C-alpha cells in the first residue's frame, strides 16, 4: 500500500476506508464488518468515521470491526460543529471513544465550520491532545478562506483538510490542493468515486478497461497519484474493498492522465468548495 505523511511525520496509507452509512442496517452488519477487516488486512488501515454517521451507528460498527486490532488502525472521527465548543468537543470526543471502544483517536476533525469561534475549537482540540485522547486534529469542508481564518486563529497544527474530491469535482486543484501541498498537509478526498456515480461513466469504464482496471480503480488511482491526497472510499462489501485496494498498484501514464483531463476537465478558475 502506498503511504503519505502527516506534518508530524506519521505515515498513513494513501487509500483508507470511509464509513458513511455503514452500521445503519442490521442486515448488512456482518458484511460491513468483514469489509472493514479485509481493508485492514490489505493495508487500507485508515478508517474514517464521524459522530454524525448514523447518529453514532458507524462508530459503533467500526468499534466492533477493530476489536482486538486497534493498534493496526489509524482511526479518524469528526465532531459536529455544534459540539465544537471547548467543553463540547471534550464531551463529544468521549462519546466517540466509547462507541469506538478505544481510548484515543489518531485524528479528530471539525466536520464543517459552524458558529463556534475557531480559536475555541482549536483550544478544545489541543486540550484533548494534552489529555492523550487524540493524537492530532484537523478540519473538514474548509475552503481556502476558511484555512486562512484557521491560520489566523492559531491553527498552525492542523493536520489535514477533508474535502469532496473526485474526477467529477476537481475545483480544489485551483487553490486548496496546491495551498495544502505548500503547507505540507495532506488533503483527505471524500466521495472519491462520487458515491458510485463515477462507476457508471461509460468513458471512464472504457478507459479503465484499456489499462486492465475497473472504473473504481482508475478513479482511485487518479485521486492518489497526484500526491498529497489520501482517498477514503466507502465500500460495504469485501469484494469492493479488494477491488479498491488494487488501485494503489496502478501507475498512471501521462497519456492516461491527459485523456482523463479531456473527459473530466480540471478547473480553469476558482470555484467555491462543494460540500456534500
Among 41, 123, 243, 274, binds ligand NAP (CB under 6 A): 243
Judged by CB under 6 A, the stretch of 88-96, 184-192, 250-258, 263-271 that binds ligand NAP is 184-192
Q: Which is nearer to ligand NAP, 22 or 256 (CB)?
A: 22
Q: Which residues 107-126 are close enough to bind ligand NAP by CB under 6 A?
A: 111
Q: How many CA atoms lie within 13 A of 86 on its CB side?
A: 4
Answer positive or negative: Cα dihedral of 213, 215, 218, 221.
negative
Judged by CB under 6 A, the stretch of 18-26, 116-124, 126-134, 143-151 that binds ligand NAP is 18-26
Q: Does 192 bind ligand NAP (CB under 6 A)?
A: yes
Among 193, 229, 230, 245, binds ligand NAP (CB under 6 A): 193
Q: Does 169 bind ligand NAP (CB under 6 A)?
A: no
Q: Which is nearer to ligand NAP, 18 or 124 (CB)?
A: 18
Alpha-helical segments (H) within 101-136:
118-130
Q: Does 236 bind ligand NAP (CB under 6 A)?
A: yes
Q: How far does Cα 163 stand from its chain's mean position?
A: 8
Q: How far does Cα 12 stand from its chain's mean position?
A: 11
- Give the nearest distance from C-beta 254 to ligand NAP in angstroms: 25
Q: How far does Cα 130 stand from its chain's mean position?
A: 24
Q: How many CA atoms lie within 13 A of 141 on its CB side?
A: 13
Q: Does 205 bind ligand NAP (CB under 6 A)?
A: no
Other Cβ atoms less than 10 A from the Cβ of 254: the count is 7
Answer positive or negative: Cα dihedral of 122, 123, 125, 129.
positive
Among 129, 195, 259, 274, binds ligand NAP (CB under 6 A): 195
Q: Does 45 bind ligand NAP (CB under 6 A)?
A: no
Can you tell me the distance from the alpha carbon of 136 to that of 113, in angstroms, rounded to the nearest whole number?
18
Among 108, 137, 190, 222, binds ligand NAP (CB under 6 A): 190
Residue 240 · residue 15 · CB < 8 Å: no
Can you tell me the distance from the alpha carbon of 244 to that of 43, in angstroms, rounded to the nearest whole number?
11
Residue ranges that bind ligand NAP, judged by CB under 6 A: 18-20, 48, 111, 140-141, 162, 190-196, 199, 216, 232-237, 240, 243-244, 276
Amino acid at each position: 500500500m502506498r503511504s503519505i505523511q502527516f506534518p508530524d511525520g506519521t505515515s498513513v496509507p494513501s487509500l483508507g476506508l470511509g464509513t458513511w452509512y455503514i452500521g445503519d442496517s442490521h442486515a448488512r452488519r456482518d458484511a460491513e464488518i468483514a469489509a472493514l477487516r479485509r481493508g485492514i488486512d490489505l493495508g487500507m488501515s485508515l478508517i474514517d468515521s464521524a459522530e454524525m454517521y448514523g447518529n453514532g451507528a458507524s462508530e459503533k460498527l467500526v468499534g466492533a470491526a477493530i476489536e482486538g486490532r486497534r493498534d493496526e488502525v489509524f482511526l479518524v472521527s469528526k465532531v459536529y460543529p455544534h459540539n465544537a465548543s471547548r467543553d463540547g468537543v471534550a464531551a463529544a470526543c468521549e462519546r466517540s471513544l466509547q462507541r469506538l471502544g478505544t481510548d484515543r483517536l489518531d485524528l479528530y476533525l471539525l466536520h464543517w465550520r459552524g458558529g463556534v469561534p475557531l480559536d475555541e475549537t482549536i483550544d478544545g482540540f489541543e486540550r484533548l491532545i494534552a489529555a492523550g485522547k487524540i493524537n492530532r486534529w484537523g478540519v473538514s469542508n474548509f475552503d481556502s478562506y476558511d484555512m486562512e481564518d484557521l491560520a489566523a486563529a492559531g491553527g498552525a497544527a492542523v493536520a489535514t483538510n477533508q474535502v469532496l474530491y473526485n474526477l467529477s469535482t476537481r475545483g480544489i486543484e485551483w487553490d486548496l490542493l496546491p495551498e495544502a501541498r505548500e503547507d505540507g498537509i495532506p488533503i483527505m478526498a471524500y466521495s472519491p468515486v462520487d458515491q458510485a456515480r463515477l462507476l457508471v461513466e461509460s468513458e471512464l469504464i472504457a478507459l479503465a478497461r484499456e489499462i486492465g482496471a475497473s472504473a473504481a480503480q482508475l478513479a482511485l488511482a487518479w485521486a492518489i497519484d497526484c500526491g498529497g491526497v489520501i482517498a477514503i472510499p466507502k465500500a460495504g462489501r469485501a469484494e469492493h474493498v479488494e477491488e479498491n485496494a488494487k488501485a494503489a498498484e496502478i501507475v498512471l501514464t501521462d497519456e492516461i492522465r491527459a485523456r482523463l483531463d479531456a473527459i473530466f476537465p480540471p478547473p480553469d478558475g476558482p470555484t467555491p468548495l462543494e460540500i456534500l
